[in-house]
Amino acid sequence: MTVLDLASKVERVENYDALVLSTGSQSVWPNIDGLDLPGVHVLRTIPDSRKIKAQLDNIHRALVMGAGYLGLELAENLYKRDIQVTVLQSSDQVMPTLDKEMATFVANHLKKHGLELKLSCKATAITQTSDHSLLVSLDSGEQVTVDAVMISVGVKPRAELAIQAGLEIGELGGIRVNEYLQTSDPNIWAVGDVVEVKNVITC
């Protein structure tokens, strides 16, 4: 295995008897124009949240792209800072992992507190206006003007190293492992967000 020392930029070869891959996941970015504009943030890590926090005093209107766990937690905290929040979700309910009845309860709670929900809707572009606001165009034809866009539309396995090593990859892009978390190479194990396992209920 070739290892790069990030400080010295020197590569070296490391031998191993057993290897564990725990490379985690990375944020999914929507394929739209305007993601590089000032005021567009992705939320996944602690440093991401600190960058957003540093800008809060300049934000009065925000659009949160994604109504999963992180997106709704972010929307709640923005609301507590008296920021006008619009939540955008591509599916027809918030928190897609919940059943419809529970998701409806959550959606009604959000609306009760003044958050605007736009479901079954995707952003198609983000542009900057003359006053440095952000104009978010939606596939419904609507446009939303905000001061900041926060993106939390999900994650994907960080499996590039496994792919380079020729390990078997599952249908969802994660490293396929057995019940012992072994990969297709019996000397390599994988754990965490990067793996893809059988569902014990449905498989």
Q: Which tens digits make up the pLDDT trace of 175-187?
A: 999 999 999 999 9
According to DSSP, the residues that pair with 155 across neighbouring strands are 27
In this structure, is residue 44 part of a structural domain?
yes
Q: 78 with 130, same domain? A: yes
Residue 178: CATH number of its domain: 3.50.50.60
Distances from the Cα of 112 to the Cα of 24, 48, 94, 128, angstroms? 36, 28, 15, 30
> Are residue 92 and residue 145 in the same domain, yes or no?
yes
Say if residue 161 is in the same domain as residue 72: no
Quote the DSSP letter at residue 141. S
In the chain, the number of structural domains is 2
Instruction: Choose the final residue of a domain: 153, 171, 187.
Output: 153
Does the pLDDT at position 202 exceed 80?
no
Check residue 203 and give its pLDDT: 60
Same-domain check for residues 104 and 138 = yes
Q: What is the span of the domain harbouring residue 70?
A: 30-153
Q: How confident is the model at residue 160, as a pLDDT?
A: 96
Considering the chain, what is the average pLDDT of its residues?
A: 93
Q: Do residues 125 and 143 make contact, with C-beta atoms less than 8 angstroms apart?
A: no
Q: Are 162 and 183 in contact (CB under 8 A)?
A: yes
The answer on 149 and 53 residing in a single domain is: yes
Confidence of residue 27 (pLDDT cuts 50, 70, 90): confident
Residue 75 neighbours by CB under 8 Å, 6+ apart? 64, 67, 85, 87, 110, 115
For residues 166 and 149, state if they share a domain.
Answer: no
pLDDT at residue 117, rounded to an integer = 96
| pLDDT tens digit sequence for 107-164 | 999 999 999 999 999 999 999 999 999 999 999 999 999 999 999 998 899 999 999 9
Evaluate whether residue 118 is within a structural domain: yes
Shared domain for 39 and 116, answered yes or no, is: yes
Tens of pLDDT along 31-72? 999 999 999 999 888 898 899 999 999 999 999 999 999 999
202 lies in some domain:
no
Token match 């020729």: residue? Answer: 166
Query: What is the three-class DSSP state of 180?
Result: coil
In DSSP terms, 143 is beta-bridged to 137
| pTM greater than 0.75 (yes/no) | yes
Residues 49, 13 share a domain: no
In terms of domains, do 9 and 48 share one? no
For residues 48 and 16, membership in a common domain is answered with no
Residues 51 and 129 in one domain: yes
- Report the alpha-carbon distance of residue 148 to residue 138 in Å, rounded: 15
Query: Does residue 203 fall inside a structural domain?
Result: no
Are 162 and 191 in contact by the 8 Å Cβ rule? The answer is: no
Phi, psi of 114 (to 5 degrees): 95, 5
CB 53 within 8 A of CB 150: no
Tokens (6 digits) for 143: 């446009």
Q: Are residues 145 and 70 in the same domain?
A: yes
